[in-house]
Amino acid sequence: MSDPQDLRNTEQNIQWGGRFAAGPGVVMQEINASIGFDRKMWRQDIQGSLAHAAMLGKLGILDTKDLTDIQGGLAGIAADIEAGRFAFADALEDIHMNIEARLTERIGDAGRRLHTGRSRNDQVATDFRLWVRDAIDGLDAQLADVMAALVGRAEEFAADPMPGFTHLQTAQPVTFGHHMLAYVEMIARDRGRLADCRRRLNECPLGSAALAGTSFPLDREMTAKALGFDRPTANSLDAVSDRDFALEFLSAAAISAMHLSRFAEEIVIWCSAPFSFIRLSDAFTTGSSIMPQKRNPDAAELVRGKTGRINGALVSLLTVMKGLTLAYAKDMQEDKEQVFDAAEAWALCLAAIAGMTRDMTPNLARLRAFAGSGFATATDLADWLVRVLRLPFRDAHHATGRLVALAEGKGVDLAGLTLADMQSVHPGITQDVFGVLTVDASVASRTSYGGTAPVNVTAQVKRWKEALG
């Protein structure tokens, strides 16, 4: 008699396997086909085929009629895909075979000649590089837009104080403009990483064929130039089998998403009732199904959340590639979905951050009040003791700590202490010390290069506005 658990397992297996009832052929087709996602590269595939055909025509490998027919056929296919009239077939596996089959159907044998001197291996490597390059150009423009939004708010609030935190504890006053510019610097480095990635990927694999090159006398320089690459790849094995350009792209995406997520986290905190540092409009918040008072910063929360899928894309592709011998292996079909998904998520996060940056309204009075809380000007007091009384900094630090303890015991801030209170810790302290204990004096004094002084913020805003055009 069968064990009931065995029967349940059998039933589950049958249910799971229902879609594969026709046997291994269906399973193979299902696992082998990539057209469900690599159709995103149709523009790049047609672009690469046009460049390859033009080169074959110049060399006489294709005659003039065949070249003309191929060019016209590919233009027609592009128009059909753009208009939604192209029926993609899973049985043809991928975007390359779908387009080639339709081309041959349209123009006959000339369509079959297009593949001379190339393989799907170098074709997909070229298409993928073109797609990532296009994505980089679009994302770079979005990153620049986020920077412009942040610079705009930095200019607007260059002199408005807010609390600067370490350990999420009030540390020293800074300005809201200075805080915005911190993210400008981060995102500028994100753009730099993308630019580096673009420069390194900008070599053309087309003509490497399956793995060993080809016996046809191709002009790979011509093809590379036609596609906007700097040069053809120098090693056919490397050209078809590495995806470090995609990994570098995902790495840049993950680092940038981390920066965006940090800003999103601050937006979430700043919007909360206990902080109330900023307000977002209805355009970037949602309500609650049962709590009518709620204004949830969901756009910021989703930016924070999407960072996980971008990080996951990087880890996924690293895992796919880590054990592959040269040259191409079918595992590498799993290289695209993560990149496509990460690029889409990154673009959406950038749009949300740019929108929230322009949308948010700072509560300047509350920011100012909190800027001076938690004895935030204690360092200014210690610096005054060093500068005016010539105390060693460690002694000044100790004296300031005693004054903080005294103020805490009296329930006042440092400016609330009397001169007699101050002199009970160090008799050399004069009335002048109170001039450095205000929030405005604190931020104005931080004039070292990169500091929060409004004059510095204004100068950095000017620099960034010129850089961003």
Give me the active site residues, please: 167, 288
266: number of Cβ within 10 Å: 17
Amino acid identity, position 409 = G
187: left (phi over 0), alpha (psi -120 to 50) or beta: alpha
**DSSP E strand boundaries for 222-365:** 231-232, 278-279, 361-362
* Structure tokens, 384: 């005054």
141: number of Cβ within 10 Å: 11
* Structure tokens, 293: 């008072």
CA 202 to chain centre: 20
The C-alpha atoms of residue 406 and residue 40 are separated, in whole angstroms, by: 67
Pair type for strands 203-204 and 169-175: unpaired
Helix (H, G, I), strand (E, B) or coil at 268: helix
Amino acid identity, position 77 = I
Return the closest-CA partner of residue 35 out of 242, 337, 341, 239.
Answer: 337
CA 162 to chain centre: 28
Amino acid identity, position 63 = D
Contact 42, 81 (CB under 8 A): yes
Vertex 62 angle, CA 60 and 66, to 5°:
140
Contact 127, 95 (CB under 8 A): yes
Return the closest-CA partner of residue 264 out of 164, 183, 344, 338.
Answer: 183
